[in-house]
Structure 1
Amino acid sequence: MSLEREQRCPVCDDQQVFYRAASTMMHLGEKTKWRCPDCDYGFVTIGEDVDSSASA
């Protein structure tokens, strides 16, 4: 998995390159915490299926 991920930051309201802050293996897949370097906004992904940054 990559150490960086480009995505829109809702706090900065711009495209940002998030950095991988932490990761661990779970029974669902790899849990990864991502952080915006400008505002410290963070979100979590688990495997390919779960992304806490997704809006409803």
Structure 2
Amino acid sequence: MSLEMEYDCPDCDNSQFWRTAYMEIHLGKKTKWRCSECGFGFIQIGDDITTAKA
């Protein structure tokens, strides 16, 4: 799994996110991502569940 990803931040114009935490849970792989500019973060579980605003 990559340590960075491209994602449009809803708080600033940055699109660079860094993985800050990762663990296996019963729902899948839980990953925490954080914007490198403003610190906005979200959690992603597998490919289907996310706390990021669309």
Given the two structures, how large is their TM-score scaled by the length of structure 1? 0.87
Q: Is the 8 A contact 1:6 1:15 kept in 2?
A: no
What's the counterpart of residue 2 of structure 1?
A: 2
Q: Secondary structure at the match of 1:9?
A: coil
Shift of 1:15: 4.2
Q: What is the TM-score when the length of structure 2 is the normalising length?
A: 0.90
Give the Å deviation of 1:54: 3.7
Q: Is the 8 A contact 2:14 2:37 kept in 1?
A: no
Q: CA deviation at 1:11?
A: 0.7
Unaligned runs of 5+ in 1: none
Gaps of 5+ in 2: none
